[in-house]
Amino acid sequence: MRILGIDYGEKRIGLAISDPLGITAQGLPTIEYSNIQEALQKIMTIISEKEIGEIVVGLPKHMNNSLGESARAALSFGERLKTHTGIPVKTIDERLSTARAHKAMLEGNLSRKQRKGRVDMIAAQLILQNYLDRISR
């Protein structure tokens, strides 16, 4: 069983997938979408092709641990995924994952254009890897 990691955004969704043993997270192409049904349909295709058994959605909490608009949107998306797919959906605190993704890309000397195209995928990888590390302890 593989686990799908999601960095939810209003226009793009970063994706990552675990290896079959649940040890490492690898990035998948970012989904760009215009409506939620389109996003769900694209994710359903990935779930089917990759034999996903669990989904982890990043929850962008505020630094004071409260939930803002983005966190509520991620929770709502997670609920829709759970209803639509029938697969367990969990959330994990993703504070600063996008900032860490940008930092990692800067350290790798990626251009601004390269960073823009990869930030959501790398954030999803960080979210999923954090989750995999937690469950392996």
| E-assigned strand segments in the chain | 2-8, 12-18, 25-32, 52-59, 89-93
Which amino acid is residue 132, in one-letter code? Answer: L
Residue 126 has pLDDT above 60, yes or no: yes
pLDDT band at 65 (very low <50, low <70, confident <90, very high): confident
Beta strand pairing status for 25-32 and 2-8? unpaired
pTM of the model: 0.86
> Quick check: 59 and 91 in contact, CB under 8 A?
yes
Q: What total number of domains does the chain contain?
A: 1
Here the CATH number for the domain that contains residue 112 is 3.30.420.140
Residue 132 has pLDDT above 70, yes or no: yes
**Which domain covers residue 78, as residue numbers?**
2-136
With tokens 């940008």, the residue in question is 102
What is the tens place of the pLDDT at every residue in 87-118?
Answer: 999 999 987 666 666 666 566 665 666 656 67
SS3 content of the chain, % helix, strand, coil (to 5): 50, 25, 25
What is the tens place of the pLDDT at every residue in 75-84?
Answer: 999 999 999 9
pLDDT band at 61 (very low <50, low <70, confident <90, very high): confident
